[in-house]
Amino acid sequence: MWVDVTSEVHKGALSYEASSVIEAATRTATDQLLPFVAVIASSGAEIRDGFSALHAWGLAARALTDCSGRVPTVIIVDGPAVSGPALLLGIVDHVIMTESSYAFVSGPTMVADFTGVTVDNDELGGTATHGRHTGAATLVASDLDAAVALAEQLLSYVPDHCDDEPPTFATDDDPQRSVPEAGEVIPVVSTGSYDVRNVIRAVFDDGEFFELRARWAANVVTGFATLSGRPVGIVANQPIVLAGTLDIPASQKAARFVAFCDAFNIPIVTLVDTPGFYPGKDLEWRGMIRHGAQLVFAYGRATVPRICVILRKSYGGAYIVMDSKKMGNDLCLAWPWAELAVMGAGQAAAILQRRATPDERAAFEADYTERLLNPYVAAERGFVDAVIEPADTRAVISAALDALIDKRERLPGRKHDNTPL
């Protein structure tokens, strides 16, 4: 379902009639089980309509909320999105902004009046701001035509509605293809960095990966790929940014993506390489507990097929939230050099061997690594299903997805869950 709210009349101000059009289009999308796509360029509610404009905007917002989890929703911003229209961006699944667009709840004039800070439209709510700092923009396009093409590509991975299966893609890429290059990406030194997107492109079909929110919270990577022509959602720690640690934006980004995939029946593959949560007073004061719980919660309630591959490090609380075995994934794999523990050997020695000599600390670290860090110990205890060679990763995941194609879970009877916010 397509609706266009442009700035040609009164700078796109949302009158009662305009908001009613959005509501009607949204209701049609829900009733006919069609994806909803809107193009918005609006300066806000139509002042001359008075309260009725706000009332109609509320109806549109309610209709979009009713769409959530039933049909995919996308808004393309091609100009201003101010006040009420800006809030609609937070309701839909995905937002695509053109380079000339901007969005904010309170504009530069109000910011200057209330705070004394002078700021322009681009700095306050331009594509760079929403693509890199707020995460409101899923994708950024050069112009409207490019934005429409990105919307089409995004929706090509997603079914039309929640009761449908994802579409399939034609591919000649053998699902049993060996992928030794995936393991070759990992540095010999455990603290070395690498781009996890190279692992993704090696494992999945035709070296293609459609990344979402690439500029925001880059320490975690989210996006779509295919395996045997079937779409999968990928969540991966990114070692080249903050060493792959999890912070508040990364937790929110991954949680939102996991929830979207679960809503529309897209299997989730999680690639893990993280030393833990990023430490700091600022993060703790901003609510690391609440926001870290968002990712735990998203995985915990997901019922789609879930496969976890531990590429290298998986420590502490971050081990749990990155779809660990006891969080309910269907298959947990590890590469032979993977390290699973509460913390690394050096960190453990710093806590448990504070008064030890350098030789004693080195001996402790060697023993700790041998007894606790290797994946075979975790496999013996049931926390890892199999330790596999990197070259076999594609074939094993493909076979697992074949086995899980008819996976169903009985959902608990309740009005709705209470998602951490």
- Give residue for tokens 């509610």: 45
Q: Is residue 410 part of a domain?
A: no
Residues (pLDDT < 50) of the chain are 7, 9-10
Report the CATH number at residue 26.
3.90.226.10
Angle of helix 196-203 relative to helix 393-403, nearest 10 degrees? 60
CA 123, CA 107: separation in Å to the nearest integer? 11
261: Cβ–Cβ under 8 A, 6 or more apart, which residues?
Answer: 233, 267, 268, 302, 304
| Structural domain contains residue 369 | no
Cα separation, 21 vs 4, in Å, equals 9
> In 3D, which of 150, 17, 166 has the Cα closest to residue 77?
150
Residue 81 in any domain: the answer is yes
384 located within any domain: yes
Same domain, 151 and 185: no
Phi/psi of residue 356, each to 5°? -75, 160
Dihedral sign, Cα of residue 251, residue 252, residue 254, residue 260? positive
19 and 144 within one domain: yes
Please tell me the predicted confidence (pLDDT) of residue 21: 81
Asked whether residue 325 falls in the same domain as residue 234, the answer is yes
First to last CA, the chain: 30
Tell whether 150 and 64 lie within a shared domain: yes
Residue 348 resides in a domain: no
In a domain, 420, yes or no: no
Q: CA 128 to CA 132: how far, in whole Å?
A: 6
Per-residue pLDDT, 357: 79
Identify the pLDDT of residue 9. 47
Same domain, 150 and 20: yes
Do 104 and 216 share a domain, yes or no? Answer: no
Which of 155, 188, 206 is where one domain is finished?
155
Measure the CA dihedral 116/122/125/129, to 10°: -110
Q: For position 6, what pLDDT does the model report?
A: 59
Q: Which domain does 307 fall in, by range? A: 180-338+374-403
Say if 174 falls within a structural domain: no
Listed residue (263, 275, 335) closest to 301, CA to CA: 263
